[in-house]
Amino acid sequence: MSLDQSHYDVALFSTGLTQSILSAALSSAGLSVIHIDQNDYYADQWASLTLSELLKWAANASTTSEPEHNRRATDVSLTFPASTEHEASQSSTPSKLPESLASLDRHYAISLAPTLLPATGPSIECLISSKVSSYATFRLLERTCVASPSAHGPDGSALTLTSVPASKEDIFKTKTLSLIAKRKLMKLLMYIATEDWQSELAQDSETAKRPFVDYLAQVHKMPSDLIDAVAYGVCLCSTPHETTETAMSCAKSHMSSVGRYGNSAYLVGQYGGAGELAQGYCRASAVKGGMFILAHQVRSAKYDKEAAKWSIEVRDVDSTITSDHLVSSDDMLEQLGLGSRRAAANAADPSRKLDVLHRAVLVLEEPIRFSHSAETKAPDSIQQDADQQQEQTQPELPPETGLIVFPPGSIGGNANTVTVLMMGEGTFSCPKGQYVYYVQTEASEAEAQRPVLEVLQPVLDQIVAWTSYDDASNDAWQPRAKPLVELTYRQHVSSHAGEHDEAGLSRVAFPPPQAEASATTRPTASIAGMTDAAVHQAERVYYDVLASRLPARVGGESHEDKVKWIRNAVEEQKAERKRRKGRDPSEYQGRGGRGADDGITSAGQDAEAGALPVHEENAYVVGFFESSSNQDDDDQDDADEAQ
């Protein structure tokens, strides 16, 4: 295969969400970009796969010869328990799909990275400013529930589902909280809305770093059930050690998101979610001239310091590809022998704790009917609930999307939070009448050493038990159906959160680092924070690329100084565009032209003639997802104001 051109400004390995966002931004800024992905599908570790692609992915993950610390996934098991062919198979990963599922293969979009998108924040603003929002469709997250131990569960069940109020209106309407608990919750939310907590935590670093659950118990005097609802249902803390500062930021995001698109703080992407978003950004990059090569293995990548260029050899590509800058995932660089010193030191340390996520995917023919969960009612609402129950004649329809959170210690001795995301046929993730359940938890040090299925089995059994409940039947608990698809695996987290290496190279980690990341910040484990973190990571690398292209005399001596100079220039340009769009009325001229008393001096006219701030090189710096061809685009001004 031959290419029309052999040199590009930036080469990117993999089409993951971060790389795809970065590619669209760089192409929009006028840089030439080439993507190379060894997979025959887009989005890499963020991908949404059909069943046949999932089967191939599981087989490749099970048979790879890479060392464990370089592998993306281990302990992979993909089975089809409801199939008769499964009973005869002893393999953890069958060689082919059951006939009953093969005919529906392309009706599935199973996500390797299920995510929730906050209704406000970097993810949504990036979709709007890049215009990729026209390629994507979403549904609201309809229900969020916290699973809690209770003796009042249906049929004596030890776990019940308690709905998490999404808004102030829900708080007043809910029957699961007492009046005292409602007052405490409203007091906390009003405190978060005032933003006083930001200055207070900035002055009190000890409180900022304190676990959020301890802060709620000691400062706000909340009972344990309310702490679970706030910390794990609203803030979606992934561990009981989540800091107060981080959790309060999540609560603030939750509050600002509710009501933007409906009575929910989160959106659920259709057709698998993040994988479809990555394809949308790749499409936006291709429209601007981005080049994509899928299903081709990178043989080598070498950096020539004298020429300041990368030389890249790709299988079945005739010519050598060169680029000024290279962006790649950690594992890809490890395969090419370009691992960082930090990663090498971590791999050589036998005592190093390996960070992992335990994941599972279930496909069932029944939903979880949240209305049957026998929520524990507050004493002052029991009589009111009994009166309303007599008036109800039709059962509540199950939601198409729902999130269940198991707080630490609530099931199977789980050390950290377990989240279960339910997606029905309305999300176009599965055929009609089926539901996909995504299970995720951050493994503790002890859990990381145990088989994934053993750790997650209590959660999987509980999901099947809840889907076996039919409140329209006289015998509510039905025989437990076997899952159509069951996938479990251990996903390895990058040894570092991402860093800028030597000149011309930027690393991209998966999962991406938290928004306030430094190179040592832990990766994002929350299901609601991954897309925002990917946008932040893409923006960081974007300015790294621009800084590496500046002449040596511009912006400062160090790379950090150049990045800071570029960001300041972009902010000045945004401020100038807003100033020009919202001029003072005295600056407008009338029919007769400007007069001596119009408030416009000759000096003001000279200043007005300059479109934008002029820096020492007379160069316009293109910001993240700004157009390089039309600096005064009205759409870009609107996007700036939206942010």
**Structure tokens given for 555:** 């912006």
Q: Which of the two residues, 49 and 89, has the higher pLDDT score?
A: 49
Please say whether the dihedral angle defined by the alpha carbons of residues 557, 558, 563 and 568, taken in this order, is positive or negative: negative
Question: Mean pLDDT throughout 75-94?
Answer: 76
CA 500/CA 559 separation, integer angstroms: 9
Tokens 């407008």 -> residue: 588
> Range(s) for CATH 1.10.405.10 in the chain?
127-269+355-492
CA 426/CA 362 separation, integer angstroms: 17
Tell me what pLDDT residue 150 has: 67
> Which residues on neighbouring strands pair with residue 48, listed in sequence order?
111
CA 253/CA 249 separation, integer angstroms: 6
CA 184/CA 350 separation, integer angstroms: 47
Q: Which residues contact 349 (CB under 8 A, 6 or more apart)?
A: none
Return mean pLDDT, the chain: 82
Tell me what pLDDT residue 87 has: 53
CA 125/CA 407 separation, integer angstroms: 31
Tell me what pLDDT residue 63 has: 79
Maximum alpha-carbon separation in the chain? 94
3-state secondary structure of 405: strand
This prediction has a pTM of: 0.87
Task: Count the neighbouring beta carbons within 10 Å of the beta carbon of residue 383.
Answer: 10
The DSSP line for 21-67 is HHHHHHHHTT--EEEEESSSSSSGGG-EE-HHHHHHHHHHHHH--S-
Q: Which of 213-227, 485-499, 503-517, 567-581 has the highest mean pLDDT?
A: 213-227
Q: Which residues contact 591 (CB under 8 A, 6 or more apart)?
A: none
* Cβ pair 419, 410 in contact under 8 A: no
Tell me the percentage of the chain whose pLDDT exceeds 90: 53
- Among the residue ranges 64-68, 371-375, 415-419, the one predicted with the least confidence is 371-375
- CA distances in angstroms from 421 to 93, 111, 266, 317, 330, listed in the order given: 24, 11, 12, 41, 28
Q: Which of the two residues, 541 and 169, has the higher pLDDT score?
A: 541
> Which residues on neighbouring strands pair with residue 590, listed in sequence order?
593
Tell me what pLDDT residue 374 has: 43
Q: How confident is the model at residue 608 (pLDDT cuts 50, 70, 90)?
A: very low
CA 110/CA 361 separation, integer angstroms: 8
Tell me what pLDDT residue 501 has: 60
Q: Which amino acid is at 332?
A: M
Q: How confident is the model at residue 86 (pLDDT cuts 50, 70, 90)?
A: low
With vertex at residue 68, the alpha carbon angle to CA 66 and CA 69, rounded to the nearest 5 degrees, is: 105
CA 217/CA 293 separation, integer angstroms: 54
Phi/psi for 122 (5° steps) reads: -60, -40
Task: Count the neighbouring beta carbons within 10 Å of the beta carbon of residue 301.
Answer: 23
pLDDT for residue 606 is more than 70: no
Describe the chain by its helix, strand, coil percentages, rounded to 5: 40, 20, 40
CA 468/CA 154 separation, integer angstroms: 12
Q: Which residues contact 220 (CB under 8 A, 6 or more apart)?
A: 184, 187, 188
* Cβ pair 537, 509 in contact under 8 A: yes
Q: How confident is the model at residue 391 (pLDDT cuts 50, 70, 90)?
A: very low
Q: How confident is the model at residue 174 (pLDDT cuts 50, 70, 90)?
A: confident
| pLDDT tens-digit series, residues 455-473 | 999 999 999 999 986 555 5
Question: Mean pLDDT throughout 556-585?
Answer: 83
Tell me the percentage of the chain whose pLDDT exceeds 70: 77
CATH superfamily of the 127-269+355-492 domain:
Guanine Nucleotide Dissociation Inhibitor, domain 1 (1.10.405.10)
Tell me what pLDDT residue 78 has: 95
Give the alpha-carbon dihedral of 306, 308, 312, 318, to 10 degrees.
-80
- CA distances in angstroms from 409 to 148, 194, 202, 412, 558, listed in the order given: 10, 33, 31, 7, 48
Phi/psi for 603 (5° steps) reads: -65, -40
Please say whether the dihedral angle defined by the alpha carbons of residues 528, 532, 534 and 537, taken in this order, is positive or negative: negative
Instruction: Tell the burial category of 501 from Cβ atoms under 10 Å away from its Cβ (0-12, 13-18, 19+).
Output: middle
Task: Count the neighbouring beta carbons within 10 Å of the beta carbon of residue 345.
Answer: 12
